[in-house]
Amino acid sequence: MHQSPQDLRRIEALLDFYIDSGVDCFLGEEVVDWFERSRLQSSQTRHAAAAAPAGPSARRTGDEEASRGPAQDRGQAAFQPPAAAPPARAPHANPGQSAAVPDQEVIAAARDLAASAQSLDALRACLEAFDGCNLKLTAKNLVFADGNPSARVMFVGEAPGRDEDLQGKPFVGRSGQLLDRMLEAIGYDRSSAYIANVVPWRPPGNRTPTPQETEICRPFIARQIALVDPDVLVFLGAASAKTLLGVQDGIRKMRGKWMTYPAGGKEISAIATYHPAYLLRSPLEKRLSWRDFLAIRQSLSKQ
Ligand code: URA
């Protein structure tokens, strides 16, 4: 069918709108309300569980819950993902295969896989092979890390954006360029710092990663931090601090305060500061970030 230039412009505008809204990949003909479906599934599961006698599996669940206690005290598992959630894979993405659900099993698989990695290269290979996170379907590249793995300071952001996805490297867009300038201001650069994200795949349209996606990716970044074993860990923005420390405070309250992050059997000095993307929007806040970066430099010079 012949399309007029006007039609083409309209189609282009519609596609732009879809991309801006986070719709950047075709999944299927029918609209599926996964939230409604997962709500029904979880209510069916609850009914089945209520009808089943309490046997060994019920006890195991109780033990698992109890064993979460100390971890939660350390802020490691404060977020409990819902028992049922939207699918990790679109059902049409893999015709012939049943849809995987990002439930506790996927999270447990991520935890086991991450724990098995004995080096950063092995961890990267684990992520390349891991199919439990739906973000991988729409991302162009895995954005694992940039910088020096032996650095004494490690920065953790939330998730890659478009530029990072294209280059397969964290913080290379506008906010990354600001981060570079901030590093330079305290005498550091990417050869003396290590940079990664909680979520290593770009969420479509740069939307915020869902709690399920974050929870699935969390074991990998936790392992990455343990393997890098920095002297100082810097959370860029509230999202990474909240995910990794389990705290609920906003960034205004949290930033600039020294905390500790448990990794590899020790406590790493940690601090949260504003995300560079926020600083681009609110340049006046750079004054407070500057204080945080000076505190980071001072801490590194003391250790
Ligand atoms: N924002 C992030 O949190 N991470 C990046 O890599 C880029 C932008």
pLDDT, residue 61, reads 28
Q: Is 289 within the bounds of a domain? A: yes
Q: Is 297 within the bounds of a domain? A: yes
Q: Is 124 within the bounds of a domain? A: yes
254-283 pLDDT, tens per residue?
Answer: 999 999 999 999 999 999 999 999 999 999
The answer to whether the CB of 276 is under 6 A from ligand 1 is no
For the segment 134-151, the average pLDDT, to the nearest whole number, is 98
Is 58 a residue whose pLDDT tops 80? no
Is 213 a residue whose pLDDT tops 90? yes
Q: What is the pLDDT of the chain when averaged over all its residues?
A: 80
Q: Is 149 within the bounds of a domain? A: yes
Query: Which atom of ligand 1 is least distant from the CA of 169?
Result: 6
Q: Is 268 within the bounds of a domain? A: yes
Contact of 261 with 225, CB cutoff 8 Å: yes
Query: Residue for token digits 């098995």?
Result: 116
The answer to whether the CB of 81 is under 6 A from ligand 1 is no
Q: Is 164 within the bounds of a domain? A: yes
Q: Is 6 within the bounds of a domain? A: no
Domain extent at residue 268: 104-302
The answer to whether the CB of 170 is under 6 A from ligand 1 is yes
Strands (E), the chain: 146-147, 153-157, 194-197, 232-236, 259-263, 266-273
Q: Is 58 within the bounds of a domain? A: no
- Alpha carbon 111 to chain centroid distance? 14
Is 75 a residue whose pLDDT tops 60? no
Split at pLDDT 50, 70, 90, the class of 47 is low
Is 296 a residue whose pLDDT tops 60? yes
The answer to whether the CB of 158 is under 6 A from ligand 1 is yes
The answer to whether the CB of 175 is under 6 A from ligand 1 is yes
Contact of 48 with 40, CB cutoff 8 Å: no
Written as one string, the DSSP assignment of 46-102 is: HHHHHHS---HHHHHHHHHHHHHHHHHHTTSS-----SS-S-SS-TTTSTTSPPP--
| Ligand 1 centroid – CA 159 distance (Å) | 5
Query: Which atom of ligand 1 is least distant from the CA of 237?
Result: 3
Number of domains in the chain: 1
Q: Best of 275, 278, 281 to mutate for ligand 1, by most ligand atoms within 8 A of CB?
A: 275
Split at pLDDT 50, 70, 90, the class of 27 is low
Query: Which atom of ligand 1 is least distant from the CA of 163?
Result: 7
Q: Give the amino acid at 152.
A: R
CATH number for the domain spanning 191: value is: 3.40.470.10
What is this structure's pTM?
Answer: 0.70
